């Protein structure tokens, strides 16, 4: 019994059906962790990108160091750090929040790079034309730069969304009951690992296919007439 | 009679150790059409870019419409953003690479700034854009995107876009250098009409010598960040006094 659901060991099919609600509960946790981590990565990555492009070295440098660190150390190390070290300084977060934070932090270093590349792909002449026409900086950003950068950014961001979903199982080591962890617990208790693990694989495949299709749909829907994309 | 609308007083411009403009003195009078010629790297674009405040300066004073862009006290002190906006509003710039907004239609390229910066009602901005498109001969291309137009057409849109802000000074930085030879004529034709029919002050960098000779009131020969020679087009083109000018013109005409 798990999450109030009982497993049925009478036949493989019955077993599979009976554990589906348990895995479903784990899947929701996986999706929530991925979505929350990704949202954090999207916001924080933009912050890093802006800081790193700051003309002042004292701002750009620390941002560059931090993102380099986030990108080049394993997710698990960062996760352990947040999970075991932060509480020593009185910051105690639920395991789920710690996990989502770790995902968001690591992926913010990747998204920062995507933003930077996307923003740099907007030619300098666009900024100069906007300035020559006296367009206010905010208007320039929202109506000249963003529309030209976003179509370049979306496909790469989509890849990171899929990638972050596939990294959620790492959170199981800090007790988060995401889908793989649930499958393992079912296996531990029923001595049948094959069916729950296969089901996790299948559900993952469906989730990533759906996410990719969603990103592609967004990409098709975005206006990009006239914007040179490579 | 001289009524300088642009005045460079001992302007110094450096990029790192490289001094691009070394105490440049240069004026353009109201309504005058001035062409800057000179070898590549001599600082021609820099002059226009300083006027448009795309570049700052290290010394001297640049006056536009009788007021300095930046004030010189100890070094060059920045002017307020509001002041620079006002000064930029008196000028329009046409770039070598057109720099149209690729994700906006031709109409939107022209109306964006008048609506957002001058606060014109959309209908009025559109009416004005239509007039300007007629002037540059592109009325039927209004709802196309820049990539659907030829280079010559794009540059004519860029000219219309600059004019839509009602500048009193128009700056052209090699407006035909990025164009295929067969498209140069249509752009020069538009600029020529502007020069003949409007009292705009025009400052034009070009390598089109015949055109320069026909439209300008004065030709300025730049060499290594200085004015080597300036004068009426007939003087410069037929009887330059400086050896450097001769060499440059000879090399350009042979090319
Ligand atoms: N952003 C820049 N950084 C460094 N050097 C520059 C920059 N812009 C122009 N220069 C240098 O300034 C000089 C004058 O450039 P420019 O005004 O573009 O010349 P022109 O338009 O006459 O060809 C050149 O030597 C060029 O290399
Ligand atoms: Mg130039």
Tell me, in angstroms, the distance from the centre of ligand 1 to residue B20's CA: 7
pLDDT, one tens digit per residue, over A149-183 is 999 999 999 999 999 999 999 999 999 999 999 99
Residue nearest to atom 21 of ligand 1 (CA): B45
Inter-chain residue contact A148 with B146, CB threshold 8 Å? no
The yes-or-no verdict on residue B46 having pLDDT over 80 is: yes
- In this prediction the ipTM stands at 0.94
**Does A142 fall in a domain?**
yes
Q: Is B168 on the interface with A (CB under 8 A)?
A: no
In the 8-state DSSP scheme, what is residue B149?
Answer: S
Length of chain B as a residue count: 255
**Does A76 fall in a domain?**
yes
pLDDT, one tens digit per residue, over B151-167 is 999 999 999 999 999 99
**Does A229 fall in a domain?**
no
pLDDT tier, A39 (very low <50, low <70, confident <90, very high otherwise): very high
H or E, element range at B11: strand B4-15
The yes-or-no verdict on residue B1 having pLDDT over 60 is: no
| Closest ligand 1 atom, residue B47 Cα | 17
Write out the two tokens for B195: 């020069």
The yes-or-no verdict on residue A218 having pLDDT over 60 is: yes
Q: CATH number of the domain at A117, please.
A: 1.10.3720.10
Give the mutation target among B19, B20, B172 for probing the ligand 1 site: most ligand atoms within 8 A of CB: B20
Q: Which residues contact A11 (CB under 8 A, 6 or more apart)?
A: none
What per-residue confidence (pLDDT) applies to B253? 78
pLDDT tier, A148 (very low <50, low <70, confident <90, very high otherwise): very high
Residue nearest to atom 25 of ligand 1 (CA): B41
**Does A63 fall in a domain?**
yes
Give the global pTM. Answer: 0.86
Mean pLDDT of B45-72: 93
What would you measure as the largest C-alpha separation in chain B, in angstroms?
Answer: 55
Q: Determine the Cα–Cα distance for residues B51 and A131; give it in Å rounded to an integer.
A: 12
B44 lines ligand 1 (CB under 6 A): yes
**Total of domains in chain A:** 1
Tell me, in angstroms, the distance from the centre of ligand 1 to residue B43's CA: 6
Question: What burial letters (b/e) apply to A189-198, b meaning 16+ CB within 10 Å?
Answer: eeebeebbee
pLDDT, one tens digit per residue, over B186-238 is 999 999 999 998 899 999 999 999 999 999 999 999 998 899 999 999 999 99
3-class secondary structure per residue, A91-154 = CCCCHHHHHHHHHHHHHHHHHHHHHHHHHHCCCHHHHHHHHHCCCCHHHHHHHHHHHHHHHHHH
**Does A20 fall in a domain?**
yes
**Does A167 fall in a domain?**
yes
Residue A175 sits in which domain range? 12-221
Question: What burial letters (b/e) apply to A71-80, b meaning 16+ CB within 10 Å?
Answer: eeeebeebbe
Radius of gyration of chain A (CA): 22
B45 lines ligand 1 (CB under 6 A): yes
B80 lines ligand 1 (CB under 6 A): no
Mean pLDDT of A142-146: 93
Q: Determine the Cα–Cα distance for residues B168 and B87; give it in Å rounded to an integer.
A: 11
Q: Which residues contact A49 (CB under 8 A, 6 or more apart)?
A: A111, A112, A113, A115, A116, A119
What per-residue confidence (pLDDT) applies to A230? 63
Q: Which residues contact A166 (CB under 8 A, 6 or more apart)?
A: A204, A208
pLDDT tier, A55 (very low <50, low <70, confident <90, very high otherwise): confident
What per-residue confidence (pLDDT) applies to B74? 63
**Does A95 fall in a domain?**
yes
Write out the two tokens for B127: 């009416």
H or E, element range at B29: strand B18-29
Rounded to 5 degrees, φ, ψ at A103 are -60, -50
What per-residue confidence (pLDDT) applies to B160? 97
B17 lines ligand 1 (CB under 6 A): no
pLDDT, one tens digit per residue, over B103-138 is 999 999 999 999 999 999 999 999 999 999 999 999
**Does A3 fall in a domain?**
no
């Amino acid at each position: 019994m798990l999450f109030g659901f009982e497993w049925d060991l009478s036949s493989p099919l019955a077993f599979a059906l009976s554990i589906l609600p348990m895995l479903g509960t784990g899947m929701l946790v996986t999706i929530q962790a991925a979505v929350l981590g990704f949202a954090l990565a999207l916001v924080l990555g933009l912050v890093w990108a802006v800081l790193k492009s700051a003309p002042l070295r004292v701002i750009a440098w620390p941002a560059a160091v931090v993102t380099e660190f986030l990108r080049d150390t394993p997710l698990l190390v960062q996760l352990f750090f947040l999970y075991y070290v932060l509480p020593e300084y009185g910051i105690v977060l639920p395991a789920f929040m710690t996990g989502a934070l770790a995902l968001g932090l690591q992926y913010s270093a990747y998204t920062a790079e995507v933003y930077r590349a996307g923003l740099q792909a907007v030619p300098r002449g666009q900024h100069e034309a906007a300035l020559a026409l006296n367009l206010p900086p905010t208007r320039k950003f929202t109506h000249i730069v963003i529309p030209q950068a976003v179509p370049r950014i979306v496909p790469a961001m989509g890849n990171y969304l899929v990638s972050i979903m596939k990294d959620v199982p790492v959170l199981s080591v800090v007790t988060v009951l995401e889908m793989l962890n649930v499958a393992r617990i079912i296996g531990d208790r029923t001595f049948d690992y094959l069916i729950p693990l296969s089901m996790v694989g299948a559900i993952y495949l469906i989730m990533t296919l759906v996410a990719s299709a969603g990103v592609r749909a967004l990409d098709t829907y975005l206006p990009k007439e006239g914007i040179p994309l490579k | 009679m001289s009524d300088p609308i642009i005045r460079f007083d001992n302007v110094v411009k450096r990029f790192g150790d490289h001094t691009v403009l070394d105490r440049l003195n240069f004026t353009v009078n109201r309504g005058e059409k001035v062409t800057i010629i000179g070898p590549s790297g001599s600082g021609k674009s820099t002059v226009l870019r300083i006027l448009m405040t795309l570049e700052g300066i290290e010394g001297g004073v640049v006056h536009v419409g009788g007021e300095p862009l930046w004030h010189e006290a100890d070094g060059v002190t920045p002017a307020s953003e509001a002041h620079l906006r006002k000064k930029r509003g008196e000028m329009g710039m046409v770039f070598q690479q057109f720099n149209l907004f690729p994700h906006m239609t031709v109409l939107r390229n022209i109306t964006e700034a008048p609506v957002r910066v001058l606060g014109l009602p959309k209908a009025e901005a559109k009416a004005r854009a239509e007039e300007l498109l007629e002037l540059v001969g592109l009325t039927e291309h209004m709802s196309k995107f820049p990539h659907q137009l030829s280079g010559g057409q794009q540059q004519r849109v860029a000219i219309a876009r600059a004019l839509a802000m009602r500048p009193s000074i128009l700056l052209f930085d090699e407006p035909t250098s990025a164009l295929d030879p067969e498209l140069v004529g249509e752009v020069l034709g538009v600029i020529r009409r502007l020069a003949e029919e409007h009292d705009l002050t025009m400052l034009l960098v070009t390598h089109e010598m015949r055109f320069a000779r026909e439209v300008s009131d004065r030709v300025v020969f730049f060499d290594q960040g200085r004015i080597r020679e300036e004068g009426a087009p007939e003087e410069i083109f037929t009887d330059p006094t400086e050896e450097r000018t001769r060499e440059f013109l000879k090399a350009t005409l042979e090319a």
